Structure 1
């Protein structure tokens, strides 16, 4: 990514936690950031007020394709250096998969796997040649690292996300975009729990270091916040 202050990013899902800190960190580094939230106000708007003209907020419910399409229309003419989808929910906790209700399964898979890829497909045309398309994943989605029990639905949704991103990268192999799945570490968020070893303020600057360092790299990579490859 260029070293000019005109670098532009669109962050899908920035109202709190990792997405909020990501938007703020990019703005701090001189990026022009468009960040989405399902509802206006809150901490994201406070960040936007602190970065006038540099961080702007758009309303978006990612699970509604018509809203994603409308966002794309509103942003026509933008040339993004980074399109980053950060969205995930956890439902069911340690429920074994045979106890997960249909509605819960559908909600988690829609939010964590299907909607992020729909958003990438709908918005990828805004990304300039040489730009980066990235999704917040998790080592919980690694099949080879799944050696401990629990959180079966969440793990399955992240594995599905990774597989769909692999298909996306294959289908768009010649578009010139860097493609990344990012594991941000185990963070103190509602998903990660209060006992997690990292805070978003600690992990996200390293995530941004990885995003900036990988700009222009070919193919799809699944990396952690230190730039190390996460096994599929």
Structure 2
């Protein structure tokens, strides 16, 4: 029986590349994004692959999130990837921080992933062993922060890293491995054109890490090469 991937933020960049790679690997894929009707490449994939399902989902719409969880009741999920994220305003400096934008970034990056887990925890439990992977960032690492700044994005990723550690403890008895992943500095809409790697290289690495992940690594913070990142 084919394994099942559920992924958020699947309309472009890393999320879309993950959808493609997992479909090529023979997985069933449930892909979610806020505006599927504007996700041209994703819709083309939907026409080409019977193993792909696409749903409209804003991860901060918690009633809709729970409704989708109810709709998929009884469906095992082997891998749940929370890829949806938001960088916020670029170029913000000390003394010029947009508080409302900070709240929005926290909502998407730090609160929503936990609500995603709550909505699909039972689906993960139905798989013999499963993984909840959160796309974090090395910018959330306290130990790696030597350049300062980027207060909004850094703090949101530090917060979700803390959530990952707590989930790894709370979900151990459910046999659900939880991991924070750093995809590298990737040439996407968020990463920009000066980034060091493309989405294909990043996702190939991330998939290799996830393919080899087991409960002995739950609660870890890993980059796309499988190297540990300091918290």
| TM-score, length of structure 2 as denominator length | 0.93
User: 2: distance between equivalents of 1:61 and 1:172?
Assistant: 25
Are 1:7 and 2:3 an aligned pair? yes
CA drift at 1:174: 1.6
Are 1:107 and 2:104 an aligned pair? yes
Are 1:73 and 2:89 an aligned pair? no
1:17-56: per-residue Cα shift (whole Å, max 9, x none)? 11110111111111110000111232211222222x1111
C-alpha RMSD of the superposition: 1.4
Query: Which residue number corresponds to residue 228 of structure 1?
Result: 227
Query: Which residue number corresponds to residue 192 of structure 1?
Result: 191
1:1-232 equivalence runs, <5 A: 6-41=2-37, 42=39, 43-51=41-49, 53-127=50-124, 128-232=127-231
Contact 2:34 2:56 in 1 (8 A): yes
User: 2: distance between equivalents of 1:97 and 1:223?
Assistant: 30
Contact 2:165 2:219 in 1 (8 A): yes
Contact 1:93 1:150 in 2 (8 A): no
Unpaired runs of at least 5, structure 1:
none
CA drift at 1:97: 4.8
Runs of 4 or more above 6 Å deviation: none
Contact 1:22 1:204 in 2 (8 A): yes
User: 2: distance between equivalents of 1:17 and 1:147?
Assistant: 28
Contact 1:131 1:216 in 2 (8 A): no
CA drift at 1:111: 0.5
Unpaired runs of at least 5, structure 2:
none
User: 2: distance between equivalents of 1:172 and 1:88?
Assistant: 23
Please state whether the residue corresponding to 1:99 is helix, strand or coil: coil
| TM-score, length of structure 1 as denominator length | 0.93
Contact 1:92 1:151 in 2 (8 A): no
CA drift at 1:125: 1.1
